[in-house]
């Protein structure tokens, strides 16, 4: 199994451009999430999904859209990129595992710079 | 909403010294998880604590969950250079996504 796959690994955008960060998981997990990581800020939740067709906002949703048309895929769209969106983005998936332990599995991340 | 706070933000130790990071939640947690992120890497699950006062050990790592289920700690005995990284605690938000603390970055010099 590949686990959680994120593409691209690196991206440079100009202010105002739009793009989609891809995330796919092959573990048949119900829950998927997007986080951004900035120095000294930890991991902040952007959006999450509890299943196909169901999404909800996290702590920092502004400027981002998501959709979940399949269990496997959870793309994150930047509508009009801003320098404040320069960050490392992590996608994660999880399911209720053995004895109720809900492990989140993270992708390798996308490093995004907005100029 | 739920806030998860960690201290210290940074810790620099000599190899062989002990290390502790503390986690506090603004609300009672159903469980707490700990993750480790190596430099340039992604967070990796370490452990989950569920019961009040629970203590779990993984080799040189000891994890504790407070009696009130609002705080937790991670203690590393005799640090090694392989322990370098950022350690995060996290609590579940409405059961569907994790709220992470800001993490403690550990630097170990030989």
What does the angle CA A91 – CA B91 – CA A82 come to, to the nearest 5 degrees?
40
- CB of B50 closer than 8 Å to CB of A100: yes
Check whether A107 has a pLDDT greater than 90. yes
Question: Is B96 in contact with A31 (Cβ distance < 8 A)?
Answer: yes
The number of beta carbons lying within 10 Å of the beta carbon of residue A37 is 20
Residue with token string 């999880």: A94
Distances (CA, A) of B13 to A26, B75, B84, B110: 39, 13, 10, 9
pLDDT tens digits, B68-93? 999 999 999 999 999 999 999 998 76
Band (pLDDT 50/70/90 cuts) for residue A39 is confident
Question: Is B96 in contact with A56 (Cβ distance < 8 A)?
Answer: yes
A25 reaches B (C-beta below 8 A): no
Chain A positions touching B97 (Cβ under 8 A) are 31, 33, 45, 48, 58
Cα B98 from Cα B48, distance rounded (Å): 12
A110 reaches B (C-beta below 8 A): no
SS3 assignment for chain B: CCCEEEECCEEEEECCCCEEEEEEECCCCCCEEEEEECCCCCCEEEEEECCCCCEEEECCEEEEECCCCCEEEEEECCCCHHHCEEEEEEEEECCCEEEECCCEEEEEEC
Mean per-residue pLDDT of chain B: 93
Average pLDDT over residues B40-59: 95
What does the angle CA B55 – CA A45 – CA B108 come to, to the nearest 5 degrees?
50
A89 reaches B (C-beta below 8 A): no
Chain A positions touching B43 (Cβ under 8 A) are 43, 90, 92, 104, 106
Q: Which of A66-70, A92-96, B24-28, B92-96 has the highest mean pLDDT?
A: A66-70
**CA–CA min distance A5, chain B (Å):** 12
Better pLDDT: A102 or B44: B44
């Amino acid at each position: 199994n590949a686990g959680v796959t994120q593409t691209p690994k690196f991206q440079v955008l100009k202010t105002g451009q739009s793009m989609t960060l891809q995330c796919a998981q092959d573990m048949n997990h119900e829950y998927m999430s997007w986080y951004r990581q900035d120095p000294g800020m930890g991991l902040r939740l952007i959006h999450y999904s509890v299943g196909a067709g169901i999404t909800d906002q996290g702590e920092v949703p502004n400027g981002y859209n998501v959709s979940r048309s399949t269990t496997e895929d959870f793309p994150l769209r930047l509508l009009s990129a801003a320098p404040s969106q320069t960050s490392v983005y992590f996608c994660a998936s999880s399911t209720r595992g053995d004895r109720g332990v809900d492990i989140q599995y993270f992708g390798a991340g996308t490093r995004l710079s907005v100029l | 909403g739920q806030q998860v706070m960690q201290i210290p933000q940074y810790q620099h130790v000599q190899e062989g010294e002990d290390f502790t990071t503390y986690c506090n939640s603004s609300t009672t947690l159903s469980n707490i998880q700990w993750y480790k992120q190596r430099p340039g890497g992604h967070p990796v699950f370490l452990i989950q604590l569920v019961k009040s006062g629970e203590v779990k050990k993984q080799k040189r790592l000891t994890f504790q969950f407070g009696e009130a289920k609002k705080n937790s700690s991670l203690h590393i005995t005799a640090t090694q250079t392989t322990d370098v990284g950022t350690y995060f605690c996290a609590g579940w938000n409405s059961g569907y996504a994790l709220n992470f603390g800001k993490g403690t970055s550990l630097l170990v010099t030989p």
